Amino acid sequence: MNRTVARLSAQALFGSRRGIVLMLIPGALLVLSVIVRVLTDAEIGLEVAVGLGFTLALPLVALLAATAVLGPEIDDGSVVYLLSKPVSRHVIAVSKYAAAWAATMVLGALPLLLSGLVLDPSEMGQAVALGVGAAVAGTAYCALFIGLAALTRHAVVIGLLFTLLWEGALGGVFGGVKWVSIGPWGREVASWVSPLVDPVGLGVTYALVATILVTVASVWFTGDRLRSFTLRGDE
Amino acid sequence: MSVLSLDQTSRWYGNVVAVNGVSMTVRPGVTGLLGPNGAGKTTLIALMSGFLSPSAGAVTLDGVALWRHTDAYRSIGLVPERELSFGYLTGRQFVLANAELHGLDDPGAATERALEVVEMTEPAARRIGTYSKGMRQRVKLASALVHDPSVLLLDEPFNGVDPRQRLHLMSLLRRMGSDGRTVLFSSHILEEVEQVARQIEVVVSGRHAASGDFGQIRRLMTDRPVQYVVVADDDRRLATALIAEPSVVAVSLRSDGGVDVSVSDFGSFAVRLPLVARRHGIRILELTPTDESLESVFAYLVGGDR
Amino acid sequence: MTDPSAATPAGGSVIHDLGYRPYTGPRLGAGAIARALTLTGFRNAFGLGRSGKSKVLPFVLLALNLMPAVIVGGVLAFAGLDELPIGYAEYASTTQVLVGIFVAAQAPVLFSRDLRHGTISLYLARPLRSSAYALSRWTSLLGATLVFLLLPILILYVVALLGELDVSEQTREAGIAVGLAVLLALSLAGLAGLIASWSTRRGFAVVATIALLVIANGIVTAVQGISSEEGRSEVGEVAGLFSPYSLYRGLMGAWTGADVPTPPTSTGMELAYVAVFVGLSAACLAALVWRYRRVATA
């Protein structure tokens, strides 16, 4: 892990308009939680707010963070300044991932924990479970999206299609999708931490192993793609 | 001593051959890589900086292959053509980050040294987003110099830089070369290369067209007549006398004085001219070769009319 | 030296000047310029007139959007149903993710690219006012979105007619769906265009637009779901004003009787929905024109 690369990536993340939108998403989630708490009792509210946070806010934050940390630099070629140094490509990939991961944890997973607390202050364990589940899912999301960003310029749209179409729409229709979707893995871990969260039916071992596999494979892939980066002129 | 060497190097993308069997050795001093747009200059620099693997042949630095050899970057400084887009960092922060990434013992001191060399110490506190093009080039150069590399590769460093800063950059490069570093820069503007590098490598359509001192290259082009301008006190009589010489191919009178002479064998011309002048009592005032410039060499190599 | 098309004078010789000559003939007005720009923009939204790679995304999305319609048609034919399994208006509500991604992904093609690379100055250097440019681009995006939304309605309509369903009823339902689609397209084009012209980085504009649409929709749906369960549906009705998708759903529920959480129940509320729908589009369009006027005078 190279601190300089991580620091540069963090600066790129928060130093622009992207940073504002990045903060608005968890903000919206918390606002919703407060509204829901005011309107109704805990049970329904929790499901709804968690559904929104888990299936929408968390992956969107991960997508924004991951594509901000790698996409623009590869696009305009300025990643060459990082690559023309005696630093291993995999170390660069891991450092960038670390910056995006930190942002995802703070702006994606933490708000879910807070929103759980807002909606049901009596059940601390439940909120923590949500936070942990979101952390697990966020880790995998962030890794997958950074791998996408290293692969193609259209990482954002593909990531959106994955989240909204595959995990969202199709996941609602076909039960089998949950084995290959990151959101359900996170939820399974959450239900293992606290029985108050409904399990998804995957088994926590599968969920954890799948998360670790996806994370490691994606970050390794990113490092590998960085090794094949080519210098291009102004064409 | 750092020597970059390409040995029968080729690079192709499917059916398109970007670099075709190029063999060249880049030694300490300033070398100009010259060629028209699309000739493969950026591809060559990418090969020499380890960002591209050769499809055939070998690219080595002091005998070690460069592709995927990350440690080589300790001795290579690269100034790419692409614009610096870290607009939110100040110049100093950017160079400092580069110094840290090189793992230098004292990045702060190295940063200040590099900034001083490119004369950017004052503006370094401002954000890069506020810099002019020339200032960005200098910051790029500082970031490439911060680890004191023995090889410096610059891709079109004078692009879009204003004349004053260009002069500054040129003198900087000359100084680097005389310091013993291996400096290679690419350009398609002949005047720049002429003023900074005596040693040139010319690439045309991916092939290595010529290499060496451009004055000597000119003299190697023996199948083309050499042009001179001779100004004498009696141009017409000189012209009449010269056309009788076997080494002279053509003469023509210039409207503003002087005679344009086309010579096929400049060796014997150099001997015959004073003799002819003395015999006819003509005083020679000026003798200038008109096409020993890089431009004519280049036009010849590129034009393909050989 | 004379113009090459001039005739040779009788009994004389002439040399014609073949050098550069400026165009001195009649020129079409600003209206024609705007029309041409709109047509080009419309084609560019689908990647036509650009490189092959830019066609992939819009056509993939379009195909994904039409596929269910085709499948529904097949089901109708083979199962011999006597009414469409999915209503015309409901279709767009179900596939709202796809139209959202389409609009979010193609708006940067029309708005961000010129601003980012500075070619906007080439456009504005012509006798084309900045407001005309903004309107023309918005119209292109609107047209593309309408194609996206109306094609499935058309397919379902044709299939319904071929399946010998009641013509007048189908036409009425399709007509309502077309009206709703127009309202939705207006607001989506406005929002996406505004965000794309404000943020010049493509990826960022896409995520920002989608985030806005989807999260607003999610929040509103959540609030509506809760309020309907709690029996306080007025809250749900008001909440429905805060997202294009929920506005669409609300009006759909009111005008076609589809099953929707908290549709507007009074005429006043319905009018409010329509007003907000149109007002949102108008506001976005005005902001867009204002933005380009700023760009032109900057």
Residues on chain B touching A5 (C-beta within 8 angstroms)? 101
Q: Chain A: residue nearest B51 by CA?
A: A230
Closest CA to C279 of C239, C242, C250, C249: C242
For residue A132, is it within any domain?
yes
How far is residue B99 CA from its own chain's centroid?
Answer: 28
- Looking at the complex, report in whole angstroms how far the Cα of residue C204 sits from the nearest Cα belonging to chain A: 7
For residue C124, the model assigns a pLDDT of 87
What DSSP letter does each residue of chain C carry, written as one string?
-B-TTSPPPTT----B--S-----S----HHHHHHHHHHHHHHHHTTTTS-THHHHHHHHHHHHHHHHHHHHHHHHHHHT-SS-SS-HHHHHHHTHHHHHHHHHHHHHHHTHHHHHHTTHHHHHTSS--HHHHHHHHHHHHHHHHHHHHHHHHHHHHHHHHHTT--HHHHHHHHHHHHHHHHHHHHHHHHHHHHHHHH---HHHHHHHHHIIIIIHHHHHHHHHHHHHHTT-HHHHHHHGGGSHHHHHHHHHHHHH----SS---SHHHHHHHHHHHHHHHHHHHHHHHHHHHHHHH-
CA distance B218 to B293: 8
Residues on chain A touching B83 (C-beta within 8 angstroms)? 76, 78
Report whether pLDDT(A17) > 80: no
For residue A213, is it within any domain?
yes
pLDDT per residue rounded down to tens, chain C (298 residues)? 566 777 777 777 777 777 788 888 888 888 899 999 999 999 999 988 888 888 888 999 999 999 888 888 888 878 877 777 788 888 888 888 899 999 999 999 999 888 888 888 888 888 888 899 999 999 999 999 999 999 999 988 888 888 778 888 888 888 999 999 999 999 999 999 999 998 877 778 888 898 889 888 888 888 888 787 777 778 888 888 889 999 998 888 888 877 787 788 888 888 888 999 999 999 999 999 999 988 888 7
Residues on chain B touching A15 (C-beta within 8 angstroms)? 88
For residue B59, the model assigns a pLDDT of 92
Asked if residue C196 lies in contact with residue C225, where contact means CB atoms within 8 angstroms, the answer is no
For residue A7, is it within any domain?
yes
Domains of chain B: 4-214 (3.40.50.300), 221-303 (3.30.70.100)
Residues on chain A touching B98 (C-beta within 8 angstroms)? 81, 85
- A187-222: pLDDT as tens digits: 888 888 888 777 777 888 888 999 999 999 999 999
Q: Chain C: residue nearest A153 by CA?
A: C203
Q: What are phi and psi of B155, to 5 degrees?
A: -100, 110
For residue C40, the model assigns a pLDDT of 93
Does the CB of B141 have a partner CB in chain A at under 8 Å?
no
Asked if residue C134 lies in contact with residue C289, where contact means CB atoms within 8 angstroms, the answer is yes
For residue A232, is it within any domain?
no
For residue B294, the model assigns a pLDDT of 66
What Rg do the C-alpha atoms of chain C give, in angstroms? Answer: 24
Does the CB of B104 have a partner CB in chain A at under 8 Å?
no
Cβ contacts of residue B40 below 8 Å, gap of 6+?
Answer: B18, B19, B22, B203, B205, B206
Q: Do A39 and C223 count as a contact with CB atoms less than 8 A apart?
A: yes
Q: How many domains does chain A have?
A: 1
**Interhelix angle C267-297/C167-198, nearest 10 degrees:** 40
Look-up of token digits 């379009």: C62
User: Which residues are paired to B65 by β-bridges?
Assistant: B60
Chains that touch A (3 or more CB pairs under 8 A): B, C
What's the longest Cα–Cα distance across chain C? 101
Chains C and B are in contact, defined as 3 or more C-beta pairs closer than 8 angstroms: no
For residue A45, is it within any domain?
yes
Number of helices (H), then strands (E), belonging to chain B: the values are 10, 14
Q: Which residue from A56, A60, A71 is facing C203, i.e. has the nearest CB?
A: A71
For residue A233, is it within any domain?
no
User: Can you tell me whether residue B304 is helix, strand or coil?
Assistant: coil
Residues on chain A touching B72 (C-beta within 8 angstroms)? 86
Does the CB of B64 have a partner CB in chain A at under 8 Å?
no
Q: Do A11 and B89 count as a contact with CB atoms less than 8 A apart?
A: yes
- A136-176: pLDDT as tens digits: 999 999 999 999 999 988 888 889 888 888 887 777 777 77
Give the burial class of C210: count Cβ atoms within 10 A of its Cβ; 0-12 exposed, 13-18 middle, 19 or more buried.
Answer: buried
For residue B306, the model assigns a pLDDT of 42
Closest CA to B114 of C129, B187, A13, B104: B104
- Amino acid occupying residue A171: G
* Entry pTM: 0.80
The pairing of strands B151-155 and B182-187 is parallel
Give the burial class of B49: count Cβ atoms within 10 A of its Cβ; 0-12 exposed, 13-18 middle, 19 or more buried.
Answer: buried
Closest CA to A180 of A147, A150, A133, A214: A214
Whole-Å CA distances, B140 to A85, B120, B163, B174: 14, 11, 18, 17
User: Can you tell me whether residue B26 is helix, strand or coil?
Assistant: strand
Closest CA to C14 of C4, C24, C23: C4
Q: Do A82 and B101 count as a contact with CB atoms less than 8 A apart?
A: yes
Cβ contacts of residue C60 below 8 Å, gap of 6+?
Answer: none
CA distance A33 to B108: 48
User: Can you tell me whether residue A41 is helix, strand or coil?
Assistant: coil
User: Which residues are paired to B262 by β-bridges?
Assistant: B227, B250
Under DSSP, the state recorded for B258 is -
Give the burial class of B87: count Cβ atoms within 10 A of its Cβ; 0-12 exposed, 13-18 middle, 19 or more buried.
Answer: middle
How far is residue B267 CA from its own chain's centroid?
Answer: 28
pLDDT per residue rounded down to tens, chain B (306 residues)? 689 999 999 999 888 888 988 999 999 999 999 888 888 888 999 999 988 889 999 999 998 898 888 888 999 999 988 888 787 888 999 999 999 999 888 999 999 999 988 888 988 899 888 888 888 888 998 999 999 899 999 998 888 788 888 888 899 899 989 988 999 999 877 778 888 887 888 888 888 888 888 777 766 666 667 888 999 998 999 999 999 999 899 999 998 889 999 988 878 888 999 999 999 999 999 998 887 666 666 777 777 544
CA distance B56 to B109: 42
For residue A43, the model assigns a pLDDT of 67
For residue B298, the model assigns a pLDDT of 73
- Looking at the complex, report in whole angstroms how far the Cα of residue A97 sits from the nearest Cα belonging to chain B: 17
Specify the DSSP element, H or E, that contains A57.
none
Mutation for B interface: A75, A78, A85, most B CBs within 10 A: A85
- A32-63: pLDDT as tens digits: 888 777 776 666 667 777 778 888 889 999 99
User: Can you tell me whether residue B189 is helix, strand or coil?
Assistant: coil
Beta strands in A56-165 (DSSP E): none
Cβ contacts of residue B120 below 8 Å, gap of 6+?
Answer: B91, B135, B138, B139, B142
Does the CB of B88 have a partner CB in chain A at under 8 Å?
yes
Q: Do C211 and A157 count as a contact with CB atoms less than 8 A apart?
A: no
Whole-Å CA distances, B251 to A38, B43, B240, B266: 100, 44, 8, 14
For residue A235, is it within any domain?
no
Q: Chain C: residue nearest A68 by CA?
A: C204
Residues on chain A touching C235 (C-beta within 8 angstroms)? 39
CA distance C4 to C1: 9
Q: Do C210 and A60 count as a contact with CB atoms less than 8 A apart?
A: yes
Q: Which residue from A15, A85, A230 is facing B73, i.e. has the nearest CB?
A: A85
For residue A235, the model assigns a pLDDT of 42
Query: Which residues form the domain of A184?
Result: 3-227
Q: Do B101 and A87 count as a contact with CB atoms less than 8 A apart?
A: yes
CA distance B134 to B131: 8
Token pair, residue C254, equals 């009111």
Q: Which residue from A3, A77, A83 is facing B82, i.e. has the nearest CB?
A: A77
- Amino acid occupying residue C252: M
Closest CA to C140 of C65, C190, C203, C86: C190
Chains that touch C (3 or more CB pairs under 8 A): A
Does the CB of A18 have a partner CB in chain C at under 8 Å?
yes
